[in-house]
Amino acid sequence: MSAFKSDFLRIMSERGFIHQISDESALDQLFAKETVSAYIGFD
């Protein structure tokens, strides 16, 4: 995908944080239309 609609995926892509996405168009649509909760943990 050349340009993401969601701010989150666009910014993560610009910063080089995205290596691989299984279904990027569906994920982009989800992020663009609603708030998505996530968890990230560090040890």
Q: Which amino acid would we find at residue 43?
A: D
What confidence score (pLDDT) does residue 2 get?
A: 61
pLDDT tens per residue across all 43 residues of the chain? 568 999 999 999 999 999 999 999 999 999 999 999 989 888 7
What confidence score (pLDDT) does residue 35 get?
A: 94
What confidence score (pLDDT) does residue 40 get?
A: 85
Structure tokens that stand for 1 in this block: 């995908």
Write the CA distances from 9 to 18, 23, 41, 43, integer angstroms.
8, 13, 19, 25
What confidence score (pLDDT) does residue 5 get?
A: 93
What confidence score (pLDDT) does residue 42 get?
A: 87
- How far apart CA 37 and CA 43 sit, in angstroms, is 20
What confidence score (pLDDT) does residue 36 get?
A: 92
